[in-house]
Amino acid sequence: MKCRSAFKRFFQLANEERKTKRRNRGESQKRRKTDTKKGIKKERTKEETKEERKRKKLRKKRRTARKKMKD
């Protein structure tokens, strides 16, 4: 039973991350293009760093869920 809940959690987190990526796709692509062409590190706004932190946290949670599935 423990395995099933970990599996469920993994997919829930994956879907959540996919949604946020879809929401931010257009904006981030524009930013990436300008940054890589000129080689300039653009100052990030507070919101962008917050989103990054959230994404990182989700990735970590998904990784742990995957590990629990294997056990």
Q: What is the mean pLDDT of each run of 10 residues along the chain (71 residues)?
A: 77 83 64 56 74 92 89 72
Side chain identity at residue 17, one-letter code:
E
pLDDT at 62: 92
Cα–Cα distance between 10 and 57 in angstroms, integer? Answer: 13
What single string gives the DSSP state of each residue in 15-57? HHHHHHHHHHHHHHHHHHHHHHHHT-PPPPPHHHHHHHHHHHH
Model-level pTM? Answer: 0.36
pLDDT at 33: 54
pLDDT at 32: 55
pLDDT at 69: 86
Q: Kindly list the domain boundaries of the chain, sorted by start residue.
A: 2-70
